[in-house]
Structure 1
Amino acid sequence: MRAPLSWLAEYVEMPQGVTALEVAADLVKVGLEEEGVHGGGVTGPLVVGRVLDFTPEPQKNGKTIRWCQVDVGEAEPRGIVCGAGNFAKDDLVVASLPGAVLPGGFAIAARKTYGHKSDGMLCAASELGLGEDHDGIILLAEWGHGDAKPGDDAIALLGLAEETVEVNVTPDRGYCFSLRGIAREYSHSTGRTFTDPALIDVPAPTEDGFPVELDDRAPINGVIGGDRFVARVVRGVDATATSPRWMQRRLEQAGMRPISLAVDVTNYVMLAVGHPLHAFDLDRLSTPIVVRRAAPGEKLTTLDDVERTLHPEDLLVTDSPEGRSSRVLSLAGVMGGATSEVTSTTTNVLVEAAHWDPITVARTMRRHKLPTEAGKRYERGVDTRLADVAAELAVRLLVEYGGEGVEVGPVTDVGTPAPGASIEMAWDFPGRIVGLDWTREQVVDTLTTIGCTVSGDETLTVQAPSWRPDLTVGVDLAEELARLRGYDQIPSVLPVAPPGAGLTHGQRVRRSVARALAEHGAVEVLTYPFIGEAVHDAFGLKPDDPRRRALRLANPLSDEQPFLRTSLVATLLDAVKRNVSRGFTDLAVFEIGSVTRPGGAEARAGHPSVAGRPSDAELEQLFAAIPHQPLRAAIVLTGQRELPGWAGPGRAADWSDAVEAALLVARTVNVTATVAKEEDHAPWHPGRCARLEIDGRLFGHAGELHPKVVAALGLPPRTVAAEVDLDLLIEVSGRIVTASPISTFPLAKEDVALVVKNEVASQDVHAALVAGAGELLESARLFDVYTGSSVEEGYKSLAFALRFRAPDRTLKADETAAVRDAAVAAAAAATGAVLRG
């Protein structure tokens, strides 16, 4: 909402010479957000000029310019080149002389053009920020300044020095969509005197007023769509009359375009007091006017020349032509229809000022994608007692500027508007909420200042003003006291942290895993948990894969991603793809988050009332409807794992890096995970995918992604990834572990090299060695894999470092050899391993 300072000063006392920035700062103190400051962008010399003579000069490009001699109040006229053709000899114009600066920083200087030295410029309205008209220059006689003299200051004459402050109106401050509301808030902030423009005498309704019926048979949630309708008749209006220049200027400063007298008057009153109006051509109406809901299939051509199919919830203003069915005149509170529009032939006008339900208007605007200035105000709630005042203000302006012989007709006022809410609260309630020791007198005085009527002693009964529909409960009043008495008065008090047991085990595991992966060189990211069906196809998931069973959102942010993710890798790869598309190909990113795995048997959540806390049964039903949401950790690596440089040629990330990252997650919390080959688990490559287990339970998968998946998603070749189950890790690592005694006896070392077929997994050989060695084995580690001339083709040599130790004695050589042989024998029996000679 834009508020010109000169207009604002009519409703509230303002200091001499106050600037828009100072006014904006005062409004910010009471919670109105500053949006901007406009105007004041013109500096002189900008003067009134009289065209003494001009010579038309056709140009080669087909354009005709005028070489003008202009009296600007100096001893000699100035020669100015002008391309406009809408002026004549002796017309008063606006001349910007060298040294002037126009809006946008456009500096005027004497310059040679079209063979002449132009000593200034004759200005159009658009060049001075006075509107959008740029077809011709300003003729001051048409702007109501025919008595001006050459040399007069045009900046003061046209109000170009006036500033306008723009504020952002929040949904609960609908009354600030008016100069009346902003002036009231400025008064609250500064303590200066506020003069309410709505305090005028209005005529009483008459029996012969234009018939109006409120017939809302389909209220929404029990709320009637229209509870008051004021209609005023004005006859003999000159439809060709233009609104006064001062009114046009104020509309332009407020960001609206002047159109015609009737439209300008209704817009001016709306901006002044905040109540929208609508003007009908009275001679095109039939009695009675009926306010009702739309019937199925009804249509209306609105003032923007769009035919709209109406919805049964749309509230309409209609009339009833004799012998015909009801005719739609307008969408109530949003936009009028073309059939009753005020035109150049209109002489009699019906002014409508009604109070419409905010929810009804808001839904209609959004349903028809038709935002309007009137709708913006109605959806936030307008003053329920202002309809007759707004209509009276409009009628007075039409009478004053509508020409000779304008007559005011009868008055219609039907319906009973609802008053502001009545709120009961203890007088000290606001202070307890905010944390300040306000006295009862301070509470009452502040509430009275904002327009409330207050009664009562210990318990106050507060009647909210009709223009404040946002005040409904005690905390609203507490907020008003905090706002008007100053947010800066509220002390900053740090809450005392309650004693506790610190982080839970699950929180510690999660933080430890994140820290370990970050120290491993990966960057943590946070992705949106939404996916589309296409990702399952790109992953190559089988039709019966449980990961295809995803939970669909009722109101997704994007129709292309209506499901919740069933794997963490699915969304993590989106982040990788985005980085790769921007040139970052050497990546190591990870994420810790939940996935959603519906089982298909979840109960329906139901809809508990918001009036109070849900019952135990309702809470149980809500929890039963929540699908399983396991916690996962995932990592994706692409490009170079070790960058080339002086230390070496670098190394590309491969499947072993993904496996190592998964094992690192387990080692971080002192859990041992085993690795086995996974034959088929999309989206991983069948031959380069590892299955990780903890105590025989699936922990996760790691390895290289399938080439088809990489191609489908546009990822670099040989992208690797891992995804593990943190819920399992938290469960296993939370068990109580009995510490084994530390042996003080020396370690016995044995290394063995076993030859196995290439398809035998090293993990299987490792497991067999551990099982065969028994309790004396302290560790078994694979330290070399060899294929070459000394090993038969199709076979490989696996070298393991075996370490033995007894808890109560030093092992002898024959004992160590016996345990080693037992381990080798077990490996031979399980995997066909042969001791390498």
Structure 2
Amino acid sequence: MPHVPLTWLAEHVEVPAGTTAAQLAADLVRVGLEEESIVPPTVTGPLVVGKVLSVSKEEQKNGKTINYCRVDVGEHNDAPGTGKEPADVPSRGIICGAHNFAAGDHVVVALPGAVLPGPFPIASRKTYGHVSDGMICSARELGLGEDHSGIIVLEEFLSADAVPAAGTDAVALLGLGAEVLEINVTPDRGYCFSMRGVAREYAHSTGARFTDPGLPENLPTPPPAATADGFAVEVDDPTPVDGPGCDRFVTRIVRGIDPSAPTPAWMVERLSQAGMRPISLAVDVTNYVMLDLGQPLHAYDLATLAAPIVVRRAAAGERLTTLDDVERRLDPEDLLITDSPGGARGSRILGLAGVMGGAETEVADATTDVLVEAAHFDPVSVARTARRHKLPSEAAKRFERGVDTRLQAVAAQRVVDLLVEHGGGTADAAVSDLDTTTAPAPIAFDPSAASRLVGVDYPREQVLAILEQIGCTVRPAADAETTVAGDGADDAAPGVVVTPPTWRPDLVGPAHLVEEVARLAGYDEIPSVLPPAPAGRGLTVAQRQRRDVARALAERGLTQVLSYPFVGDVHDKLGLPADDPRRATLRLLNPIADDAPALRTSLLDTLFDTARRNVSRGASELGVFEIGLVTRPEGVRAGAAPGTDRRPTAEEIATLMAAVPAQPRHVAGVLAGQLVPDGVWGPGRRVDWADAVDAARTVATTVGTELTVRAGSTAPWHPGRCAELVVGDAVVGHAGELHPKATAALELPPRTVAFELDLDAVLAASPAEPVQVDPVSTFPLAKEDVALVVDDSVPAADVLAAVVEGAGDLAEEVRLFDVYTGDQLGEGKKSLAFALRLRAADRTLTAEETAGVRKRIVKVAGKRVGAVLRA
């Protein structure tokens, strides 16, 4: 995110005195630059200039030598003889471990009450036998760089004639008290990754006068033309992947730079405010110009280079150690900067073009001669390389969003001027400028399109003025010998031809111009009009059913969750067989996470991870469910995508549809721990396989689908505690207790249960018409209990179905309430007891009728499942 110090911004645009960061944010948001944050001052409290009066070196028992200093801090001094340490003149006593200063030097002193970056509060304390009444600061302690080898000596840090008197506020002197605005820039506004771009937008918002620092005429020294003896540069990219990889490459040479020359304090301050770490003069200058103008630059140690520089694509197997000391295996699509040692053209790699330089030719502590590179690289190529190598550098952020193709020579000249001024160098007359850039393409535009598309009446004059304001060249269409590509142009209001400025590569069509008109005229001018809601519309039947299912499961105590649909090795943890169709996954070319590169084939694939995370965070009683899509790629045939120049043919559409995998909607749930907690009523109850089956039944019952439950066996469920869920003749899901190996691999509690249903299949089998509620009978209820003895292998569901059939229309409710096995029944037998609620719609049932129901139940159950009435 770009950081905007007001003092820096004011160099390019008139900013009224007293403007705060909050006011600046309000001005910029009007033109679409949103505030990310306001960075408060890095230093607060008393920070002043101090003059060292005396330095007493004292050896300590631990072998360390410290300095006890008396420092004049102006009005903050102790009175003579009354301070914490005796002194002949007003001053303060301070302990300092650095040794790079002497009496008479001016330093920066943090007095008690100051807070330095960290935060690091300063207080008076007794140490080494003295009271240290403050701290003499280094650059790193003030957040002005990484130098911690010694404290700041202002005669060196500023200049001897710029050092103020003792007691002067050092916060203002060093620029440490300023607020900095951090803004959010959208990808199409890459020019705002510079102070130049932000200043231009501030001028658009407020009407303030803007001076473009990117124009040659605004430089103290205009950029010179290319010379024949410039450092040779070649571009060898005959078959570019994304277009010409490099269409401009400017080099400048500065000789005789003092390697020990420090970066000026004002530049260190601005780099620090922008969130960049000062390194050395040559590197800091290139970074500063990049932040100021938006043109990434690179400085090479000239002594390590061999002409010509060759811009080319990488060869298979090539490697490069970048400036971050990481060796990277290069891809043939990577665009490289190379040179030619020993005459071997383009044999040595200097860096990844537009992303990061190599370690071999970086500017070192002893570098005196530098080659400055200012180039323009293809945005797509840079973006792909940065993502491929996970290198989101500051240069890449700008190149991938588009850099001004007319800026390279100007930026290089700025770097040369700064190195000459602050490094004592001399600009070499040799200049190279390889330039194959093309001018922005003109856009045929109908000014009335702005009003038509935005819905605001923009006068023609206002539209054209805004386009010129953002830097576009506007000409009548007749003068440009072209026609207007748009609607509504006529002789009275002819179209125009608009040529965007070079710093706006995002303006490529009429719609982009309309967007600029709406932006600068003010988004607040666009009325908010709610579209009318037509009658007779609402949720579809399927949408209402899905909501009913979610509501029913929530009423059972389950919590709805949403998990990411990406999976890795979960099928191994579930113990799926090698030939299980759920193992056939669709892999993503560019997954969010390397360990989850495929789309799930089952909701439980990802729901288990959600359950594990909740259990790991203390949720001992767990009940979660999810409704979502799964991907089944069986039968998918890949095909070529048609072009965008025309509507696809029916055959091409069929090919595209054949390449789209099936994505049925499923519902799944996971339960663990206690279903009923322990309490004064007695011990609780853990969830078991029947609860998972019951939850699946709830789904089917809610939408009116008849669900048949039968014994099944499939991973990851326990073979003896797995139910197969059937609708009609099709298996639509499973429910039951998970296999112990699966719960261990998934890090779930033992005896966790789960269910999963193909919700689309369940909904497809639901009644087409809404379920009609039977009228409530006003006649009395009759109750009957019947206990049937069957073989132990007979499923309870089959017995229940027989009881319901035997009870007929008189059965209002049939419920299994007891299962008994024991010696009284004999080996291999079990007794199932059912409670019946019987009622007729038109009469009171007699004892004979209820007895008849019992007899029919025994008869039907005996015929279907071999049941006999328990004695």
Distance 1:65 1:814, change over 3 A: closer
Q: Please tell me whether the aligned partners of residues 749 and 804 of structure 1 are also in contact (alpha carbons under 8 angstroms).
A: yes
In the other structure, the counterpart of 1:400 is 421
In the other structure, the counterpart of 1:836 is 870
Structure 1 residues 674-689: aligned runs within 5 Å: 674-676=708-710, 678-689=711-722
Structure 1 residues 220-619: aligned runs within 5 Å: 220-221=240-241, 223-282=243-302, 285-298=305-318, 302-303=322-323, 310-320=330-340, 323-328=343-348, 330-331=350-351, 332-337=353-358, 340-342=361-363, 348-403=369-424, 406=426, 408-456=428-476, 457-535=493-571, 537-598=572-633, 600-610=634-644, 613-619=647-653
For the pair 1:199 / 2:219, whether they are aligned, the reply is no
Distance 1:192 1:762, change over 3 A: same
Q: Please tell me whether the aligned partners of residues 234 and 308 of structure 2 are also in contact (alpha carbons under 8 angstroms).
A: no
TM-score by length of 1: 0.89
d(CA) in 1 for partners of 2:799, 2:47: 95
Letter matched to residue 165 of structure 1:
L
CA drift at 1:520:
1.9
Q: Deviations over 1:312-359 (max 9, x none)?
A: 333344444565444436333334456655556655544332222222
Q: Please tell me whether the aligned partners of residues 80 and 121 of structure 1 are also in contact (alpha carbons under 8 angstroms).
A: yes
Distance 1:689 1:276, change over 3 A: closer
In the other structure, the counterpart of 2:731 is 698
For the pair 1:165 / 2:186, whether they are aligned, the reply is no
d(CA) in 2 for partners of 1:494, 1:132: 55
Q: Identical aligned pairs, as a percentage?
A: 59
Q: Please tell me whether the aligned partners of residues 671 and 753 of structure 2 are also in contact (alpha carbons under 8 angstroms).
A: yes
Query: Which is worse superposed, 773-782 or 46-55?
Result: 773-782
Question: Where does structure 1 lack aligned partners over 5 or more consecutive residues?
Answer: none
CA drift at 1:466:
0.6
Q: Please tell me whether the aligned partners of residues 310 and 345 of structure 2 are also in contact (alpha carbons under 8 angstroms).
A: no
CA drift at 1:384:
0.6
CA drift at 1:290:
3.6
Query: Which is worse superposed, 256-265 or 302-311?
Result: 302-311
Distance 1:63 1:682, change over 3 A: same
In the other structure, the counterpart of 2:667 is 633
Distance 1:219 1:568, change over 3 A: same
Q: Please tell me whether the aligned partners of residues 70 and 77 of structure 1 are also in contact (alpha carbons under 8 angstroms).
A: yes
For the pair 1:115 / 2:129, whether they are aligned, the reply is yes
Say which of 142, 145, 149 aligns to 1:131: 145
Distance 1:635 1:36, change over 3 A: closer
d(CA) in 2 for partners of 1:779, 1:407: 98
In the other structure, the counterpart of 1:30 is 31
Q: Please tell me whether the aligned partners of residues 275 and 353 of structure 1 are also in contact (alpha carbons under 8 angstroms).
A: yes
In the other structure, the counterpart of 1:49 is 50
3-state DSSP class of the match of 1:215?
strand
Q: Deviations over 1:781-825 (max 9, x none)?
A: 545444467544543333445678899999987787667545433
In the other structure, the counterpart of 1:664 is 698
Letter matched to residue 183 of structure 1:
A
Q: Please tell me whether the aligned partners of residues 74 and 168 of structure 2 are also in contact (alpha carbons under 8 angstroms).
A: no
CA drift at 1:509:
1.8
Distance 1:798 1:490, change over 3 A: same
CA drift at 1:288:
4.1
CA drift at 1:478:
2.6
CA drift at 1:370:
4.1
Q: Please tell me whether the aligned partners of residues 242 and 381 of structure 2 are also in contact (alpha carbons under 8 angstroms).
A: no
Letter matched to residue 58 of structure 2:
E
Distance 1:477 1:781, change over 3 A: same
Query: Which is worse superposed, 802-811 or 582-591?
Result: 802-811
For the pair 1:151 / 2:151, whether they are aligned, the reply is no
Q: Deviations over 1:187-220 (max 9, x none)?
A: 1222111111223343553553416354333343
For the pair 1:622 / 2:656, whether they are aligned, the reply is yes
d(CA) in 2 for partners of 1:366, 1:605: 27
Q: Deviations over 1:641-692 (max 9, x none)?
A: 222323443322223322322222222233433433x153333334333334
Q: How many residues align?
A: 833
3-state DSSP class of the match of 2:832?
strand
CA drift at 1:277:
2.7
Q: Please tell me whether the aligned partners of residues 203 and 411 of structure 1 are also in contact (alpha carbons under 8 angstroms).
A: no
d(CA) in 1 for partners of 2:641, 2:63: 73
Q: Please tell me whether the aligned partners of residues 319 and 328 of structure 2 are also in contact (alpha carbons under 8 angstroms).
A: yes
Distance 1:63 1:519, change over 3 A: same
d(CA) in 1 for partners of 2:27, 2:628: 46
Distance 1:784 1:424, change over 3 A: same
3-state DSSP class of the match of 1:141?
helix
CA drift at 1:383:
0.8
Structure 1 residues 632-781: aligned runs within 5 Å: 632-676=666-710, 678-735=711-768, 752-769=786-803, 781=815
Q: Please tell me whether the aligned partners of residues 588 and 635 of structure 1 are also in contact (alpha carbons under 8 angstroms).
A: yes
Distance 1:399 1:734, change over 3 A: same
Question: Where does structure 2 lack aligned partners over 5 or more consecutive residues?
Answer: 76-88, 477-492
In the other structure, the counterpart of 2:81 is none
d(CA) in 2 for partners of 1:738, 1:337: 72
d(CA) in 2 for partners of 1:60, 1:347: 44
d(CA) in 2 for partners of 1:308, 1:186: 41
CA drift at 1:773:
6.7
CA drift at 1:734:
2.8
CA drift at 1:44:
6.1
Letter matched to residue 684 of structure 2:
G
Distance 1:219 1:166, change over 3 A: farther
Query: Which is worse superposed, 281-290 or 178-187?
Result: 281-290
Query: What do you get for the CA RMSD once the two structures are aligned?
Result: 3.6
3-state DSSP class of the match of 1:551?
coil
Q: Please tell me whether the aligned partners of residues 839 and 845 of structure 2 are also in contact (alpha carbons under 8 angstroms).
A: yes
d(CA) in 2 for partners of 1:14, 1:22: 11
CA drift at 1:445:
1.6
CA drift at 1:411:
3.4
Query: Which is worse superposed, 230-239 or 131-140?
Result: 230-239
Letter matched to residue 866 of structure 2:
G
Query: Which is worse superposed, 35-44 or 712-721?
Result: 35-44
Letter matched to residue 29 of structure 1:
R
CA drift at 1:397:
3.0
In the other structure, the counterpart of 2:80 is none
Distance 1:117 1:663, change over 3 A: closer
